[in-house]
Structure formats: structure tokens, C-alpha cells
Amino acid sequence: MADVITSSTRYAGSSIQKATLVVGVVFLLVGIAGFVPGLTSGSLAGAGNGSMAMLLGLFQVSVLHNVVHLLFGVVGLVAASQATGSRIYLVIGGIVYLVLFVYGLFTAGHDSGANFVPLNTADNWLHLLLAGGMVALGVFLPRIGTRASARA
């Protein structure tokens, strides 16, 4: 008996594509939630640390921050159509979130123009979690369908 890896041509047909689809949908939902009164409280500004809006009372958001989440979600939905695109999305996206985590360590909570996203401590920890999770999914999930046994 030999193990054969089968490829799926379906949208989000493999494990990595399904994970990418879920990540993309979550980013879309978070981007939308950032504009929903009740889920987001406070004064929502276009960009910068002047935005006092808080998503779920924890995460500082702005219009720019929400739009970035929406765009990241759309890219995830597109990437989920191919296994290679899914891997690239998860690994590069995870690296981007690691960079955001480090960037946030220096800018979060500061009244400077550098905190243009804006970021706070809760955002930083979430970015670190996202970085680790996305890179792990991108590295460890198989690119193609499930293993099936071939009978000779």
C-alpha cells in the first residue's frame, strides 16, 4: 500500500485553504464590527491615535484600522482559492502581524504621529497571537487534500 496525496480543485478544498477562508472571514467580520455602534464605542476617527473608538471595549480602532481588516479579509478569501496562495497569505500575513506587534511595542498608547493605525496594548497581544497562529497554520497544514491509501 502506498500513500497518495490527492489534490482538490474545489474552492477551499484543502485544509490550508479552509484555514485561510476562516481567517479571511474573521478579518471581514472584525472589519465590519469596527463600524457597528454597540460593538464599537467611542468616537471613531479616520486614522491616528485621536480615534477613541474601542471595539468590544478592548481594541482601539479607527476607520483606517477597520478598512485594513476588511482588505485583509478580502485577500484571504481570494487566497483561499489556491493552496499556494493560502500558504503565502498565512505565512506572510503572520509575519506582517509580527512586525505590527513589534511596531506596537514602540507606539501603542503614545500620542505620536507614528501611532497612525491606532494600536493599544490589547491590539499588540492580539497581533502576537495572530502572528504565531497564522505562521503555524501556513507552515504545518498540508497544502493539498487529505492522504488517501491507494490499493495496488
Among positive and negative, which fits the CA dihedral 27, 60, 67, 100?
negative
Bigger pLDDT: 151 vs 124: 124
**Are 16 and 138 a contacting pair, CB within 8 Å?**
yes
pLDDT of 21 > 80? The answer is: yes
Q: What is the mean pLDDT of residues 9-35?
A: 93
pLDDT of 115 > 80? The answer is: no
* DSSP 8-state code for residue 47: S
Distances (CA, A) of 124 to 76, 95, 108: 21, 14, 8
| 45-80: pLDDT as tens digits | 887 767 889 999 999 899 999 999 999 999 999 999
Q: Which amino acid is at 44?
A: L
Global pTM reads 0.83
Our separate counts of H helices and E strands in the chain read 4, 5
pLDDT (0 to 100) of residue 147: 47
The upper half-sphere exposure of residue 149, i.e. CA atoms within 13 Å in the direction of its Cβ, equals 3
Bigger pLDDT: 13 vs 33: 33
56 Cβ partners below 8 Å, 6+ apart? 33, 39, 40
| 84-109: pLDDT as tens digits | 999 999 999 999 999 999 998 888 66
pLDDT of 24 > 70? The answer is: yes
Considering just the CA atoms, what is the radius of gyration of the chain in Å? 18
